[in-house]
Amino acid sequence: MITTKNYSYGLKPSKKRVSAQTVVSNVILYALMTALAIVLLVPYLYMINRSLMTADNAKYSYDFFTKDWMFSNFKTLFYDNTVEGNSANPLAYLSGLKWTVIIIAFNLVAVPLSSSLIAYSFAKLKWTGRNVMFFLMLGTMMLPAAVTQLPLYVMYSQNGIFGNGGFNWLDTIYPFTIPNLFGGGAVYIFLTRQFMLGIPKDFDEAAKIDGAGHLRVLFSVVLPLAKPGIATLTMFYGVTRWNEYFRSGIYISSIKKVPLQVILRKFIVDSDVTTIIGTQNLLNYNDLAKIDYTALQYATIVIAVVPILLIYPLVLKYYTKGIMAGGVKE
């Protein structure tokens, strides 16, 4: 029976030596990163803890953690404060949350799809006036958002431009949805185009040789390869629209239809408790009207922040790839 053994033939396996300086540097680096993480987490932990306190503890206690957690503050937010037989006091917080989710859900499909179609024509197709149209589109990125709000408001109103009749979209969700069917803005089209320019033309040509048309090339070749970039842009767009406030104050006047951030400002910054509690409850001075609103304010912030914190890790793996791929061009 022949046995084999591993002989080194005079070659000794190399051992990577780590110097004491490297060890000290790594320890210091990890300590600094841990301290930074704690500093960043403290406000969130403090906010969540305060939202679970009683009203008195949230207002007068300086303890960072409380032993007696309670969820009554969240129950109050989702409690239907509409008086029986009277719809004058809608549950504004739930209504704002509902409209915010509806608008974002629609746009998270409309914006990536429409911006990809337009970006593909700029990146992969050749047509007369393409460069001129592209630079005109880039020119709109230089205009401050406040400059365009007045003409948009007039266009969305009932009277329209020069009294010729408008879209009559005020106090509806249309200003936040329909325009996004056309790319969602120049910045998203531009960035999506940059991602597509980083895809080698060989892939497109190989698909066309096999008989694929432009739509097949886009959906079967380009979009899968540009997925990290599009996922990154979608995340940025979702966060931006979740924090939508400025345009909501211009186009929406009904408390039943305003997005979540308007509700938060009214309740937290302006201390407008009727937004959450309801006018009739305050007039009747019932149990809802007697509570202290400090802990309730913390609960409103938690509900507004937690969804973003939960969604972000899901697209984190695409974030680095998307940022790196955005500046690559063949």
Task: Sort 55 into a burial class: Cβ within 10 Å, 0-12 / 13-18 / 19+.
Answer: middle
Position 143 in a domain: yes
Position 304 in a domain: yes
**Per-residue pLDDT averaged across 289-294, rounded?**
62
Position 68 in a domain: no
Number of domains in the chain: 1
Position 69 in a domain: no
Each residue of 21-31: pLDDT tens digit? 888 888 999 99
* pLDDT-above-70 percentage for the chain: 71
Whole-prediction pTM value? 0.74
Position 177 in a domain: yes
| Token digits of residue 63 | 């303890």
Position with higher pLDDT, 146 vs 13: 146
**Per-residue pLDDT averaged across 246-258, rounded?**
80
CATH number of the domain bearing residue 216: 1.10.3720.10
Q: What does residue 4 show for φ and ψ, rounded to 5 degrees?
A: -115, 145
Each residue of 107-124: pLDDT tens digit? 999 999 999 999 999 999
Listed in sequence order, the residues at least 6 apart from 112 whose beta carbon sits closer than 8 Å to its beta carbon are: 192, 230, 233, 234
Question: What is the DSSP-derived secondary structure letter of residue 269?
Answer: I
Position 42 in a domain: no
Position 209 in a domain: yes
* Structure confidence at residue 288 as a pLDDT band (50, 70, 90): low
295: helix, strand or coil: helix
Each residue of 152-174: pLDDT tens digit? 888 888 665 555 666 888 888 89
Position 295 in a domain: yes
Q: What is the largest CA-CA distance in the chain?
A: 102
Q: What does residue 10 show for φ and ψ, rounded to 5 degrees?
A: 85, -5
* pLDDT-above-90 percentage for the chain: 20
Range of the domain at 118: 92-325
Kindly report which listed range (82-91, 158-167, 255-264, 274-283) carries the lowest average pLDDT score.
82-91
* Structure confidence at residue 13 as a pLDDT band (50, 70, 90): low
Task: Sort 178 into a burial class: Cβ within 10 Å, 0-12 / 13-18 / 19+.
Answer: middle
* Structure confidence at residue 90 as a pLDDT band (50, 70, 90): very low
